Structure 1
Amino acid sequence: MTFSLVARCAETGMFGLAISSSSPAVAARCAYARAGVGAVASQNVTDPTLGPLALDLMAEGMTAPEAIAAVQSQGKFIEYRQVLAVDKTGATAIHSGPNSLGIWTQAQAQDVASGGNMLANDGVPQAVVDGFLASTGHLGDRLIAAMRAGLAQGGEAGPLHSAGMLLVDKVAWPVADLRCDWTETCPIENVATAWEIYKPQLDAYVQRAIDPREAPSYGVPGDE
C-alpha cells in the first residue's frame, strides 16, 4: 500500500526519504534517517524496529547491502517486509519479502533506491528512480520530483491518503520532517506545498537551534 525512495545527495552528503500510501500517517511508521549514516524506509506490513536497526548497523560500519543482509537474518517475519537503505557512500540495497502485498517491485541505482507494494503496475519504482536521477537542485526538490514521477507512472493501485518527506544533514535532528497524515486530495502535492514554504526557512531553523544570536528575525508580529 506504499511507494517510497531513499536517497543521498552526492554533493552535500544530505540524506532524504519520501513516501506515500493509502494508509494514514505512513511517514510516522516507515521513515528513518540519520545524518552521516544513511536513510531507511521500512514498509509493507510495517515493522518499525527495522529502520533503526539498519541505521545502527550502518553507523557501526556496515554498508547498505551488509545492513540489509543483517536485517534479513535478524528481522521477524521478514518475508512480509520491504526495507530500503542508502549509506554514506551512496550504496543502496533493498529487501522485498515474497509476501509483499499486491504488485510489488523495486529499483535502485547509486544514491537512490525505490520500492513499493500494492502498486498500479511494476514500473513505478523505476519511474521514481529515473525521476530522481533526472532531477537537479536541493535534495528535497529531487525527492518531490521523484515521487511525482512515480505518481505519473500510476503510483499505488488505490487512492493515496498520506505522505511524508524526511531530510537529515550534519546535525543530530531532522532538518525537515514534513507530513500529510490524511487527505482526500493528493498527499504528495500537500507535502510539496509544505516543502515550498519550509525550504526558504530551513537554514534559519537550524541556525536558531545552534546559536539563536546569529539567527535571522522570525518575521512575525512582535518580533524586533
Structure 2
Amino acid sequence: MKSGSRKNDGAYKLTDERIAKLEEIGFQWKVLATFEERLAELQRFKNKHGHCNVPKRYEENKSLGYWCSTIRMMKSGSKPNDGVHKLTDDRITKLKEMGFRWKATATFEDHLADLHRFKNEHGHCNVPKEYKENKSLGIWCQNIRQIKSGGRKNNGAYKLTDERITKLEEMGFRWIVRKRGSIKTFEDRLVDLHRFKNEHGHCNVPFHHEKNKSLGYWCCRIRQVKSGSRKNDGVYKLTDERIAKLEEMGFQFP
C-alpha cells in the first residue's frame, strides 16, 4: 500500500498521521535485512561452523551467502559501496574482528581447524571425499594426500611443509586411507573400541556385536593372543605398548 501496489482504502488506509505513528515506533517499509542483522547471522554461522566462509549458495540461509559475496565485491571495488550494505571503516573492523576473510579461499589453518572438529565428532580424520557437511574439507584431504604422494604439485594454499605434515600426523591424519573391505590396523580398532566405551561405559564388546561384528571378533582374538592360545603376530600382534593402551582404556584380559 505504501509502495503503491495496493489500494489505499478500507481498514488498511494509510493517512499521513498513521504513517507517522508507524515510523515513530521504528516500523520499516522495506524489509531488507540491515547490516547488523546480517552480522548477527554471520556470527551464528561462525558459532556453528567455526569460520566465516559462507558458501554463496548456502542452503540454510541463501541471502547470507549472497550478502557475503556482495560485501566482498564492494571491498574489492567491483560493486558500488552504497545502500544498506555500505562498508564503513567501523563495519570493516567488525567483520575483521569476527574473522571474516575478504578472499573466500580457506587457508591451511582453516582446514586444519575443520579437520579437528571432524575428528572430535567422528573419532578419526578419514574425511570422505563427498563429505556433505563440508565438501571442501573432503576435497582438501584428498589434495594434500596427492601432494604427499607426489601426484600433485606442492604449492599454493595446499603446500605441505614439514611443520604442516607434523601437525597433521599429530592429529592422526593418515596419508593412505584404508579401502573398504581391507584389514583394519590396531589403531583403527582402538578407535572403534574407544567409541564403544563412550557409548556403553565399558570395553566388554560382545562377540556378535551387531553394530560392529568385526570389533567383537578382534577383541576375542587379542584375548586369545594374550593368553597364548593364538600366535602373537600379524594385525593382532600385542606389544607391551599396545597392551598398556588397552589396559589404560579399561580393556580386560582373561
**Structure with greater helix percent:** 2
TM range (shorter): under 0.3
Scaled by the length of structure 2, the TM-score of the pair is 0.25
Greater RCO (CA < 8 Å, at least 6 residues apart): 1
**Structure with greater strand percent:** 1
Scaled by the length of structure 1, the TM-score of the pair is 0.28
